Amino acid sequence: MENKKFDYTKISDECIKCGKCKPVCTIFNINQDETTSPRGFIDLLGAYDRGELELDTTAKDIFESCFLCTNCVEACPNDLPTDMIIEQVRNDIRKKFGIAWYKRAFFFLLRHRKIMDIMAKMGWVFQTCGIKINEQKQSATLRINLPIEMIKDRSLPYADRISFLNKHKEYISTTNAQNLIKSNYKLPKKKVAIFIGCMGNYSYTNTGEALLKILDKLGLEVMIPKKQLCCSAPAYFTGDFDTVDYLVKKNIKYFEKFIDEVDAIIVPEATCSAMINIDWAHYLHDQEEWKQRALKIAPKVHMATKWLENNTNLAQLLEEANTTFDDVVTYHDPCHAKKMQGVHKEPRALLSKNYEIKEMSDSNRCCGFGGITMQSNKYAYSKKAGLPKAAMIKETKANIVSAECSACRMQITNSLHNANVENVVFKNPIELIADALESK
């Protein structure tokens, strides 16, 4: 393997002596196959590195079965980076076997925002012909139930009429900020940029709208970087490092133009935040100059709830709203939030001001999204991984499940649909917080 970051053999020797990761491994819990447990993955990777294992279709199938949920990393006493090792070998798989046409088409759209905008708008125009939309749940099902496993009787997100980035101008002087200026009030010296994420931009646009309402109440100056591209997570988890390289470097060069002008880049998406904050530098491990540029940006990138809780008076405003909703909320911890970024207390602290929170039995369990491959040709695994999460949510008797992640939103909404749990809706915590502020 070229420019490898990891000593697979050393890691393999350390790993196979243990086994603490197996009980928390998402794929192992589904198939109980030692080969697709974390130490099974690493043992095979060690053999591959030593030239003892051919990267054939069987090995490809095994390495593509990991959800990259990082549960094993959290449980590992030696902090072995199983997820990053698998991400690296998936690039080798891509080089040897290529990538399915529909994935290549999707990654092409991620590189070209304007073409994606046109495709999304066309999708919005024609989508009602082929799908039944549930606006309350922001999901849709096919009008004709095609006998294809990955779309059969499935609940999926749909495109909004106008993307979030196209709805707003780049610089927003919020209403409260303007009022404070008129009253000669000294403004807080805070200006934030929003990185919205692809699903928040095209499908779950109410998350961005809710974030703008919160920032307006706080009187902060807002920048919406119009030329932001995908964070590259879908391509990274699939092994398309050519697309990753393009997106990461384009974004870095663009962010460098305004990074010193803002106090933070806030992201209402766990996966996007983790990708920019952590995985950009991991990907660039063998490109030192670019790695240092990524590391300079990372400290200003924060998940929205964490930054709002720690750097504004939002908690005070929520208390002053003096509103308690009848809704009961159960909170799911996205893999890329709690395990990768340590964000789990902040959204709960903010939500608890106005909502009753009922914890599910295992909020840390992966919902089963797993990336593009898991959602397409390995959807059967994703479906099985999602049903236990749906059962936990149902058990709480909550009517809202929340998580700061659109990938989790898509997966959990579909899992609730598969489990026939109809009385629960998914909302990003940012939406719930905005609702509480508006009730003041």
pLDDT tens figures, 280-326: 999 999 999 999 999 999 999 999 999 999 999 999 999 999 899 99
Q: What is the DSSP string of 229-266?
A: ---SHHHHHHT-HHHHHHHHHHHHHHHTTTGGG-SEEE
Q: What is the pLDDT of residue 46?
A: 83
Please tell me which residue, 173 or 239, carries the higher pLDDT value: 239
Assign 3 a pLDDT band (cuts: 50, 70, 90): very low
* 434 has pLDDT over 80: yes
Dump pLDDT digits (tens) for 83-138. 888 999 999 999 999 999 999 999 999 999 999 999 988 887 777 777 788 888 88
- Give the distance, in angstroms, between the CA of residue 220 and the centroid of all CA atoms in the same chain: 25
Q: How far apart are CA 316 and CA 350, in angstroms?
A: 9
Measured distance CA(260)–CA(86) in Å, rounded: 35
- Tell me which of 8-17, 242-251, 356-365 is least confident: 8-17
Query: pLDDT tens across 343-401, in order?
Result: 999 999 999 999 999 999 999 999 999 999 999 999 999 999 999 999 999 999 999 99
Q: Three-class SS of residue 280?
A: helix
pLDDT > 50? residue 1 = no
Give yes or no for a contact between 25 and 65, defined as CB atoms under 8 angstroms apart: no
End-to-end CA distance of the chain: 58
Question: What is d(CA 110, CA 103) in angstroms, rounded to the nearest whole number?
Answer: 11
Q: Reply yes or no on whether the pLDDT at 404 is more than 80.
A: yes
pLDDT band (50, 70, 90) for residue 43: confident
Cβ-based neighbours of 288, under 8 Å, separated by 6 or more: none
Q: Is the pLDDT of residue 274 over 90?
A: yes
CA distances to 32, 163, 179, 207 from 305, rounded to whole Å, are 36, 22, 25, 12
Question: In the CATH scheme, what is the homologous superfamily, with its name and number, of domain 8-97?
Answer: Alpha-helical ferredoxin (1.10.1060.10)
Spatial contact of 354 and 324, defined as CB atoms under 8 Å apart: yes
Q: Which residues of 99-130 are buried (b: 16+ CB within 10 A; e: fewer)?
A: beeebeebbebbbebeebbeebbeebeeeeee
CA proximity to 233, closest of 180, 172, 276: 276
Query: What is d(CA 330, CA 352) in angstroms, rounded to the nearest whole number?
Result: 11
Quick one: residue 68, left, alpha or beta (phi over 0 = left, psi -120 to 50 = alpha)?
A: left
pLDDT at 347: 98
User: Could you confirm whether domain 164-309 is CATH 1.10.1060?
Assistant: no
pLDDT the model gives residue 185: 45
CA atoms within 13 A on the CB side of 408: 30
Percent of the chain with pLDDT over 90: 72
CATH class of the structural domain 320-438? alpha beta
Domain limits of the chain? 8-97, 164-309, 320-438
User: How far is residue 353's CA from residue 322's CA, in Å, rounded to a whole number?
Assistant: 8
Residue 389 Cα to chain centre, angstroms: 17
